[in-house]
């Protein structure tokens, strides 16, 4: 025979029993996703005439960090809302649960929350990315098209009209080849310090940073290795650029425990909502 213990109150919210707390990658609390860094980049670029910087020049690459700031905010706010909804779920039982059965149910519910939240957000981001590619929208980083101004031969006023030309990027992977973003989303070019505008020479390639056909694709293939304290990357950017800005910021801590390596792609971090670990308390 088993003990039957009917409950006077058959339901209660999860927040009375379980607390889930995520720990995020240090990037999302770093200076590189703040207006201090992003606005400072803009001011520094304007001082060297940003309009004449090559499109893949790091000094004019504000939108990369704007996008990084946005996905950090999106990930943390999405998870915060999901945790709030999770806490309002109700555990309904008409009889006493054993400790093991109770913990199994809480663990199962928590696992479902983690997986479904990540999958829902990634599905939305992939939908937006695919929509941009299929419809050939002009990306924020102007990585997929080059804008040329031309005069219509039938226009007697000699008015300049913008003309979009599919951009040719250089893809570096066991060799070099040219490709068009309009039919190959793997196109990418190293982000770096360039000399010249239309005909540019790569003076210094930023380790791990690439410009893809759109801002989100740039994030997926890029890494953060340049921004760790064991890299002299930012000091080299200042040296090559003749500036004193980039190396003055606090860098990511390479000694901080993390399940992600410094050369992990930002895409890998995003696919885990930048979560390092979970703390779960069941009472």
CA–CA distance, 87 with 281 (Å, rounded to integer): 13
Number of separate domains in the chain: 1
Judge whether 66 lies within some domain.
yes
**What percentage of residues in the chain have a pLDDT greater than 90?**
36
CA–CA distance, 158 with 160 (Å, rounded to integer): 6
> 216: Cβ–Cβ under 8 A, 6 or more apart, which residues?
67, 125, 128, 129, 132
* pLDDT digits 0-9 by tens, 106-151: 888 888 888 888 888 888 877 766 666 555 555 554 454 555 555 5
* pLDDT digits 0-9 by tens, 206-245: 999 988 877 788 888 999 999 999 999 999 999 998 889 9
Judge whether 3 lies within some domain.
no
Judge whether 127 lies within some domain.
yes
Rg (the chain; Cα; Å): 25
Judge whether 39 lies within some domain.
yes
DSSP 202-237: EEEEEEEEEE-SSHHHHHHH-BSGGGBTT--HHHHH
CA–CA distance, 129 with 74 (Å, rounded to integer): 15
Domain that holds residue 55: 11-282
Judge whether 83 lies within some domain.
yes
Judge whether 5 lies within some domain.
no
Judge whether 112 lies within some domain.
yes
């Amino acid at each position: 025979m088993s003990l039957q213990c009917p409950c006077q109150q058959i339901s209660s919210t999860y927040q009375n029993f379980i607390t889930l707390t995520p720990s995020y990658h240090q990037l999302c609390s770093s200076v590189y996703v703040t207006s201090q860094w992003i606005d400072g980049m803009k001011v520094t670029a304007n001082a060297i005439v940003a309009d004449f910087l090559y499109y893949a020049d790091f000094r004019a690459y504000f939108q990369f960090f704007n996008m990084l700031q946005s996905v950090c905010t999106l990930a943390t706010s999405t998870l915060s809302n999901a945790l709030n909804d999770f806490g309002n779920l109700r555990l309904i039982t008409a009889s006493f649960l054993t400790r093991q059965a109770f913990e199994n149910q809480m663990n199962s519910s928590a696992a479902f929350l983690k997986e479904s939240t990540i999958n829902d957000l990634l599905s939305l981001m992939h939908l937006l990315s695919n929509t941009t590619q299929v419809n050939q929208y002009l990306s924020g980083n102007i990585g997929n098209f080059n804008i040329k101004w031309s005069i219509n031969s039938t226009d007697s006023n000699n008015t300049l009209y913008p003309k979009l030309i599919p951009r040719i990027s250089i893809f570096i992977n066991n060799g070099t080849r040219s490709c068009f973003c309009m039919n190959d989303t793997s196109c990418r070019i190293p982000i770096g310090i360039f000399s010249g505008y239309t005909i540019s020479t790569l003076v210094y390639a930023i380790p791990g940073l690439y410009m893809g056909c759109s801002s989100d694709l740039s994030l997926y293939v890029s890494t953060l290795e340049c921004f760790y304290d064991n890299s002299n990357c930012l000091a080299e950017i200042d040296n090559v650029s003749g500036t004193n800005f980039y190396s003055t910021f606090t860098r990511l801590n390479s000694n901080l425990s993390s399940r992600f390596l410094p050369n992990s792609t930002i895409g890998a971090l995003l696919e885990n909502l930048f979560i390092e670990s979970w703390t779960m308390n069941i009472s």
